[in-house]
Amino acid sequence: MATLIASIVFLFSLGGAGAIAYRKLPLLIGLPDVAEEGKKDEIILAVKNRVQNMSFIKNFSYEIFLQKILSKFRVLTLKTENKTSNWLQELREKRKKKKIIEDDNYWDEIKKK
């Protein structure tokens, strides 16, 4: 049943994509093969200038960024280590309790025999 529904959705999606392509095909054919180099260069320069004029990029420091990333990584590592240590301690306590219970039962079993 799920395969049938997935197949139907796939076919409708494929049909929709085909319809969109069919409608836009004349427009796509009318486009030039290669964009003009001068126009591309102007767009690239305009974007580059806008990016360079943003205030947060002017004041950006790679060293401070690296410090923050390393600090967050250290905190994450410490949290992971602490959680692992807690799990290990709990396992040791459970094993200790289990051993005590087994030792108590040992002498009771011997007395019964």
Q: In this structure, is the dihedral angle defined by the CA atoms of residues 97, 99, 102 and 107, taken in order, positive or negative?
A: negative
User: Model-level pTM?
Assistant: 0.42
Where would I find the H helices in the chain? 2-30, 37-53, 55-58, 62-112
**Running DSSP on this structure, what letter comes out for residue 34?**
S
Q: Identify residue 15 by its one-letter amino acid code.
A: G
Going from N- to C-terminal start, the domains of the chain cover 32-112
pLDDT tens, 53-108?
776 667 778 899 899 999 999 999 999 999 999 999 999 999 998 887 776 777 77
